[in-house]
Protein backbone atom coordinates (compact mmCIF):
# COMPACT_ATOMS: atom_id res chain seq x y z
CA UNK A 1 0.00 0.00 0.00
CA UNK A 2 2.83 2.23 0.56
CA UNK A 3 3.67 2.15 -3.02
CA UNK A 4 0.19 2.95 -3.96
CA UNK A 5 0.20 5.93 -1.52
CA UNK A 6 3.53 7.14 -2.86
CA UNK A 7 2.27 6.83 -6.39
CA UNK A 8 -0.89 8.64 -5.37
CA UNK A 9 1.18 11.38 -3.79
CA UNK A 10 3.33 11.57 -6.92
CA UNK A 11 0.27 11.78 -9.16
CA UNK A 12 -1.28 14.40 -6.91
CA UNK A 13 1.95 16.40 -6.99
CA UNK A 14 1.97 16.15 -10.78
CA UNK A 15 -1.67 17.22 -10.92
CA UNK A 16 -0.91 20.15 -8.61
CA UNK A 17 2.11 21.14 -10.73
CA UNK A 18 0.07 20.93 -13.97
CA UNK A 19 -2.80 22.78 -12.32
CA UNK A 20 -0.41 25.56 -11.21
CA UNK A 21 1.09 25.72 -14.72
CA UNK A 22 -2.40 25.81 -16.18
CA UNK A 23 -3.32 28.67 -13.77
CA UNK A 24 -0.17 30.61 -14.80
CA UNK A 25 -0.90 29.96 -18.49
CA UNK A 26 -4.51 31.07 -18.02
CA UNK A 27 -3.36 34.25 -16.24
CA UNK A 28 -0.83 34.92 -19.02
CA UNK A 29 -3.50 34.29 -21.65
CA UNK A 30 -5.90 36.71 -19.91
CA UNK A 31 -3.11 39.35 -19.74
CA UNK A 32 -2.37 38.84 -23.44
CA UNK A 33 -6.10 39.10 -24.20
CA UNK A 34 -6.28 42.40 -22.26
CA UNK A 35 -3.17 43.66 -24.08
CA UNK A 36 -4.73 42.64 -27.40
CA UNK A 37 -7.91 44.57 -26.52
CA UNK A 38 -5.83 47.62 -25.61
CA UNK A 39 -3.86 47.33 -28.86
CA UNK A 40 -7.07 46.97 -30.87
CA UNK A 41 -8.50 50.06 -29.17
CA UNK A 42 -5.28 51.98 -29.90
CA UNK A 43 -5.44 50.94 -33.56
CA UNK A 44 -9.07 52.06 -33.83
CA UNK A 45 -8.25 55.38 -32.14
CA UNK A 46 -5.18 55.83 -34.37
CA UNK A 47 -7.25 55.14 -37.47
CA UNK A 48 -9.84 57.66 -36.33
CA UNK A 49 -7.14 60.24 -35.65
CA UNK A 50 -5.57 59.57 -39.05
CA UNK A 51 -8.94 60.05 -40.78
CA UNK A 52 -9.47 63.32 -38.89
CA UNK A 53 -6.01 64.53 -39.92
CA UNK A 54 -6.69 63.63 -43.55
CA UNK A 55 -9.94 65.58 -43.42
CA UNK A 56 -8.19 68.57 -41.83
CA UNK A 57 -5.46 68.38 -44.47
CA UNK A 58 -8.08 68.46 -47.24
CA UNK A 59 -9.77 71.45 -45.59
CA UNK A 60 -6.46 73.29 -45.30
CA UNK A 61 -5.70 72.59 -48.96
CA UNK A 62 -9.09 74.02 -49.94
CA UNK A 63 -8.53 77.08 -47.72
CA UNK A 64 -5.08 77.60 -49.25
CA UNK A 65 -6.55 77.38 -52.78
CA UNK A 66 -9.27 79.89 -51.89
CA UNK A 67 -6.66 82.26 -50.42
CA UNK A 68 -4.52 81.92 -53.56
CA UNK A 69 -7.52 82.73 -55.76
CA UNK A 70 -8.41 85.70 -53.52
CA UNK A 71 -4.85 87.03 -53.74
CA UNK A 72 -4.93 86.66 -57.52
CA UNK A 73 -8.23 88.58 -57.71
CA UNK A 74 -6.78 91.30 -55.47
CA UNK A 75 -3.67 91.61 -57.64
CA UNK A 76 -5.83 91.80 -60.76
CA UNK A 77 -7.93 94.53 -59.16
CA UNK A 78 -4.79 96.46 -58.20
CA UNK A 79 -3.46 96.23 -61.76
CA UNK A 80 -6.85 97.29 -63.16
CA UNK A 81 -6.96 100.24 -60.75
CA UNK A 82 -3.45 101.32 -61.70
CA UNK A 83 -4.36 101.06 -65.38
CA UNK A 84 -7.46 103.20 -64.84
CA UNK A 85 -5.42 105.82 -62.95
CA UNK A 86 -2.88 105.86 -65.78
CA UNK A 87 -5.66 106.33 -68.36
CA UNK A 88 -7.19 109.18 -66.35
CA UNK A 89 -3.78 110.85 -65.97
CA UNK A 90 -3.21 110.55 -69.74
CA UNK A 91 -6.60 112.11 -70.44
CA UNK A 92 -5.82 115.03 -68.11
CA UNK A 93 -2.39 115.40 -69.68
CA UNK A 94 -3.85 115.37 -73.19
CA UNK A 95 -6.44 117.98 -72.13
CA UNK A 96 -3.72 120.20 -70.66
CA UNK A 97 -1.58 119.78 -73.78
CA UNK A 98 -4.55 120.78 -75.94
CA UNK A 99 -5.13 123.91 -73.82
CA UNK A 100 -1.45 124.84 -74.12
CA UNK A 101 -1.59 124.22 -77.87
CA UNK A 102 -4.71 126.43 -78.24
CA UNK A 103 -3.13 129.16 -76.12
CA UNK A 104 0.09 129.03 -78.09
CA UNK A 105 -1.63 129.09 -81.48
CA UNK A 106 -3.88 131.92 -80.29
CA UNK A 107 -0.86 133.86 -79.03
CA UNK A 108 1.01 133.22 -82.25
CA UNK A 109 -1.99 134.50 -84.21
CA UNK A 110 -1.92 137.73 -82.21
CA UNK A 111 1.81 138.03 -82.73
CA UNK A 112 1.44 137.45 -86.49
CA UNK A 113 -1.31 140.06 -86.60
CA UNK A 114 0.85 142.60 -84.74
CA UNK A 115 3.76 141.80 -87.01
CA UNK A 116 1.57 142.24 -90.10
CA UNK A 117 -0.36 145.40 -89.17
CA UNK A 118 1.68 146.85 -86.34
CA UNK A 119 0.75 147.42 -82.69
CA UNK A 120 -2.59 149.04 -81.91
CA UNK A 121 -2.49 152.77 -81.19
CA UNK A 122 -3.71 154.17 -77.91
CA UNK A 123 -7.08 155.17 -79.24
CA UNK A 124 -7.87 151.67 -80.49
CA UNK A 125 -6.88 150.27 -77.10
CA UNK A 126 -9.21 152.66 -75.30
CA UNK A 127 -12.06 151.88 -77.69
CA UNK A 128 -11.50 148.17 -77.23
CA UNK A 129 -11.69 148.62 -73.45
CA UNK A 130 -14.91 150.60 -73.72
CA UNK A 131 -16.46 147.88 -75.82
CA UNK A 132 -15.50 145.26 -73.24
CA UNK A 133 -17.24 147.15 -70.46
CA UNK A 134 -16.14 147.78 -66.89
CA UNK A 135 -13.52 145.45 -65.49
pLDDT digit string, tens, across residues 45-84: 999 999 999 999 999 999 999 999 999 999 999 999 999 9
The share of the chain scoring above pLDDT 70, in percent, equals: 76
**CA dist., res. 13 & res. 130, Å (int):** 151
Q: Give me the pLDDT at residue 10, please.
A: 81
Q: Give me the pLDDT at residue 127, please.
A: 60
- Residue 27 clears pLDDT 70, i.e. is over it: yes
Give the number of residues written for the chain. 135
Q: If you average pLDDT over every residue of the chain, what do you get?
A: 86
Of the pLDDT bands very low, low, confident and very high (cuts 50, 70, 90), residue 130 is low
Q: Give me the pLDDT at residue 1, please.
A: 45
Q: Give me the pLDDT at residue 101, please.
A: 85
**CA dist., res. 63 & res. 70, Å (int):** 10
Over residues 21-26, the mean pLDDT reads 95
User: Radius of gyration of the chain from Cα atoms?
Assistant: 54
27 neighbors 34 (Cβ within 8 angstroms): no
Amino acid sequence: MLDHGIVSLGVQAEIDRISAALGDTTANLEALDNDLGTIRQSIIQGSSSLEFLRSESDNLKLDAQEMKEGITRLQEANVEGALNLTREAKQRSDGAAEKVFLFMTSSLGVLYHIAAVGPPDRGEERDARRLQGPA
